[in-house]
Structures are given as structure tokens and as C-alpha cells.
Amino acid sequence: QIIKEQTGIIGLENRLKDKLNVKEVNIVEGDCDESDEVKIELGEAAAKALMRSLKEENIIAVTGGTTLGNVSKMVKPDPKHRKMVFVPARGGLGERVEFEANTICSQMANGAESEYHLLHVPDEVSDETYDMLIKEKHVKEILSLIQSSTIIIHGIGDAKKMAKRRKASDETIEILEKQDAVGEAFGYYFDGNGDVIHRINTFGIQLDDLTKEKRVITVAGGSSKVAAIQAYIKMGYTDVLVIDEGVATQLLALK
């Protein structure tokens, strides 16, 4: 806290909180694009934001990605022993298993010495597969748990990078390019105005599920994600924003 005051980070947090109209902004020094150390610190700051958000009973939905992977390594048992149940916000991500929501969910729960439930379905499915799997008892149960989550902690990706990493079809890539997609979160691709231009047919959290009753913690760092983060914030779902200084200074400078 003293270091944050000395470096002016607290002032930056307050100015951004007002500018972006979010309840809380947490900033770590540096830029994730330039140092892995900063990405680790971002994970730690987000884990602390999660612990500060706890109520007596908590169902915590978590997404995948490298950023959330770092958060999951920093989650600790709650000294007040409040109940935490972790669930993945989405199905498998079609990317490396260590970055899938299921893996990160189980890691967080282990760190917190808490319970977890997994969602064993692919991230992207056809309409026919969706209609079939949604009837499965296990899928139904876990989806209802995900929908009743009280806290959601998630990352934001750069649209092009995410489409490539998740091996999107040429057709999808064309749509994203034509419509100037800048970011991706929860399987939704959006443009600079925060308008959704494409969504993956996915199980788990949909944007409509991000209601005011849920506490949404958005974690993202690295200057290369500024456009994606700015656009996502415009959608108005974030309660707590955890970013790095590189992103923060640019967000403050933007109109």
C-alpha cells in the first residue's frame, strides 16, 4: 500500500475508477507485455480482489487463459472459512489443457482448499450437439450451478490472437476482420464500441447472465490488450478491474 501511494498508483486507480465507472480498479506496476513478473503480480492482485469479494456463501465461476492461470496459482484458503464452490464459466476451450477453464477452476479450488465441479463438454459445439448435451443430467446440473454463481472472474483476449489460438474457421476470421473485432471474452467477439459481432456457440456463462447481483472481476494486462479492454468496459459488466500500469496509463489517456 505504501509503495502504491509513493508511486502514484492509488491516484491512477481512483482516476480510472471515476472515468470508467467501475466499483474498484486495482493496478500493478509495469506492463505484462514486457515482463512475466508483472503477469504474476497481476495474478496475485486479482486473487486478492477475489478474496475481498467473498461473502458467507460463494459460487465462483472462472474462465480460462494464461492470465487466469496465474490467478489460480495465487488463490489461498480463506482465513474466515467462508464457503467457496468453484465452477468453470465455460466448457473446454479447444486450447492447451492447462489454460482451459476446467483446469483453472480445479487449481483455484485446490489453492482455496474448496470444492469444485467441472463441465465436461467442448467449448464450441454445433446446434445439434448443444441440443443433445443440454439434456444430460450432469450438464444440466452444472449449468444451473454456473448460472447461480455469485462471483465471476474472467480474462479478456485480443480478438485476432484468440481466434488464432482457438483455431477459428476461415469464415469466422473473415467476419472478425471485416467487422474490426478488437476483443474477446466468454466466447463473444466485440468491436471497439463494445458491440458483439460474433459469438461462439458455447455452454456456460452468456453475457445476459452477468447480472447486477453477480460480482464481475475482470483481469487483463499488457498494452497490446488496451483496445480490447476499453471496448469490453464499455459493455458495462465489470465491477472490479484488475490491470497493469501499461494498460492503465493508456486507458486514462484515451477519450
Read off the C-alpha cell for 238.
465489470
Of 27 and 69, CB closest to ligand G3H: 69
Select the residue interacting with ligand G3H from 123, 124, 184, 245 (CB under 6 A): 184
Tallying the residues shown for the chain, one arrives at: 255
Of 92 and 155, CB closest to ligand G3H: 155
Hey, is 120 helix, strand or coil? Answer: coil
The residues with which 26 forms a beta bridge, in sequence order, are: 242
Of 38 and 162, CB closest to ligand G3H: 162
Q: Which amino acid is residue 92, in one-letter code?
A: G
30 phi-psi bin (left φ>0, alpha ψ -120 to 50, beta other): left
34-63: contacts with ligand G3H (CB under 6 A): 63
Of 41 and 184, CB closest to ligand G3H: 184
- 233 touches ligand G3H (CB under 6 A): no
Residues 235 and 194 sit within 8 Å (Cβ to Cβ): yes
Whole-angstrom Cα distance, residue 184 to residue 197? 10
Smallest gap from residue 137 Cβ to ligand G3H (A): 28
Smallest gap from residue 225 Cβ to ligand G3H (A): 7
Smallest gap from residue 85 Cβ to ligand G3H (A): 21
Write the CA distances from 131 to 59, 127, 137, 203, 231, integer angstroms.
26, 6, 13, 11, 32
**x-or-dash string of contact with ligand G3H, 150-169, rule CB under 6 A:** -----xxx----x-------
Whole-angstrom Cα distance, residue 197 to residue 246? 27
Whole-angstrom Cα distance, residue 18 to residue 163? 32
Of 14 and 172, CB closest to ligand G3H: 172
63-122: contacts with ligand G3H (CB under 6 A): 63-67
Smallest gap from residue 103 Cβ to ligand G3H (A): 12
Of 97 and 132, CB closest to ligand G3H: 97
- 185 touches ligand G3H (CB under 6 A): yes
Q: What is the dihedral of CA 232, 237, 239, 241, to 10 degrees?
A: -10
The CB-nearest residue to ligand G3H is 65
Q: What are phi and psi of 70, to 5 degrees?
A: -70, -35
Hey, is 190 helix, strand or coil? Answer: strand
Total residues contacting ligand G3H (rule CB under 6 A)?
Answer: 11
Of 6 and 154, CB closest to ligand G3H: 154
The contact set with ligand G3H (CB under 6 A) reads: 63-67, 155-157, 162, 184-185
